[in-house]
Each structure stands twice: as structure tokens, then as C-alpha cells.
Structure 1
């Protein structure tokens, strides 16, 4: 199974997101709507696959403070993950890549303020994001390793 996980990591650009977070689920919906070329695959951190990926990169598996981007095995978090994702989308969103001129410390500070307060600001659901057949191609589901 480890070999399959490594193949999966190398084959895809993977976005791990908190599927119980209203803001994070809205981000997943944004990606589904705007990733016209299917460049990214989404996986929830609560899923078995998400948990395995977090363990693989020695990230916490019980509290989630950042979106994670795995780009062909390279790990990106916080504002850098956001910018790397957004720059691959079509305009006008790709224009946000210019936010990269803002020093990383400032970008990450702002990212952390939102991330650490996201449940209070946007809410939390009791259930995870529901993957429907219409959006399934955007996701990596647990059965992908079987």
C-alpha cells in the first residue's frame, strides 16, 4: 500500500482540506468550479486517504490549521499553498499570484489569523463534505489505494 501511496503522490497535485470547515468546503467548491483543466485533486483531511497523507508528511492528524498542497510530492502549506494553487487557475484568479510580492511572513500571518479563527468566523458542520457523482472526478477517494 505504501508503494500505491507514493505513486499517487507523484501522479497528482493534491489539495488536502478540512471537510468540516464551512470556509474550507467553500474553497473545495471554488476549486471544482474553477479548476477547468482538472489540475488538482481534492482529499479531505478526515478521510482515510487524507490521514495517510498527513502521516506521510508528519503533519498533525487530529487538528488542522492549514490547507496542504502536495505538488508531485513537494509539500506546500499556508499562503504559499494558496498562491501555488491560484496561479494555475485561469484569469482573473491567476492574477492573485502577484500577491507573492508580499513577504511570506506577512502572508502567513494573515493566513493563520483566518485559519485559526475559521470555525468562529465561518462555522463548522457536523458532517464532512459530500462528494456527489457530478464532482467525483475532482476528488481522490479512499478506495484509490485499494
Structure 2
């Protein structure tokens, strides 16, 4: 299976923590890229997402398709072992509107609730 690329907010404590957690447990070959890096900005441009509006995890799948927000999280959880698959399965039982709403609430408040780093997180691939 070809590698996937995960683009995350390198300043967000929650986002970078999730990225590290996923990288350790991923069943897929994964590249973790901070959105604030040059490569991250280029990938976001390729996905038609501007840095001014960036507040979602983005996954570039092996076939070049992009997933963002809750779809990206569900995809990542589905590929991180038994606990991740169980979490994804439980979340998929909820209506899409509830999943999107929950994701938006967390994304909007991520710095306030979880903190913001003074330097951008880099995860070595």
C-alpha cells in the first residue's frame, strides 16, 4: 500500500498530539506534514484549501484524493488498530450532521481548550 500524507496544524496542541499518536500506531506508511511548512502550504494549495481558512486535518490518500475534517479523522481512526477502528465505528453510528457539528466545535475552540504552541511541531518521517 502506498503512503498517505497527513497535514495538521503544527501549532495546535491537540492536532500535533493526535498526529504523534497516529504516527506511532498507524498501519499505513504515513508522512506527517505541518500545514505551516512550505510542503504543507503546497499540499493545501493542491487541495484548494487556503491557509487563512485552514482549521481541519487533511489527508492526501495514495491515489491523490484529499479528505478533510471529520472524514479525514474517521479515515485515520479506521487505520490505527483495533481501538481506532472501534472509535471510528462508534462515530459512524452518529448522523453525519452531528459528526460535522462536533468537529467544527472542537476545531473552532482547539487553541482555547487545548493550547497553542509557540513553535511549529515537526514530526520526523
Tell me whether the two structures share a fold, i.e. TM-score over 0.5: yes
| Counterpart-to-counterpart distance in 2, 1:58 and 1:93 | 28
- Name segments (4+ residues, structure 1) moved above 3 Å: none
Q: Deviations over 1:4-56 (max 9, x none)?
A: xxxxxxx5311100000111111112112212x44321101000000001111
Give 1:63 shift. Answer: 4.0
Q: CA deviation at 1:119?
A: 0.4
- For each residue in 1:86-142, what CA deviation from the matched residue of structure 2 results, as whole angstroms up to 9, or x when unmatched? 1111112211121212121110100010001000001111101144xxxx23xxxxx
TM-score when normalising by structure 1 = 0.77
Distance 1:41 1:48 in 2: 14
Question: Residues 23 and 30 of structure 2 are in contact (CA less than 8 Å); yes or no, is this contact kept in structure 1?
Answer: no
SS of structure 2 residue aligned to 1:46: coil
> What is the aligned-residue RMSD (CA, Å)?
1.5
1:77 aligns with 2:60: no
Q: Give 2:20's aligned residue.
A: 29
Q: Determine helix, strand or coil for the equivalent of 1:76.
A: strand
Give 1:122's aligned residue: 114
Q: Secondary structure at the match of 2:82?
A: coil
Shift of 1:64: 2.1
Query: Does the CA contact (< 8 Å) of 1:79 and 1:104 recur in 2?
Result: no
Residues 58-91 of structure 1, C-alpha deviations (whole Å, 9 max, x = no match)? 1012342111111121111111110111111111
Change in 2 beyond 3 A, CA 1:114/1:70: same
SS in 1 for 2:66: strand
TM-score by length of 2: 0.89
How many positions carry a matched residue from both structures?
A: 122
1:58 correspondence with 2:48: yes
Match of 2:84 in 1: 93
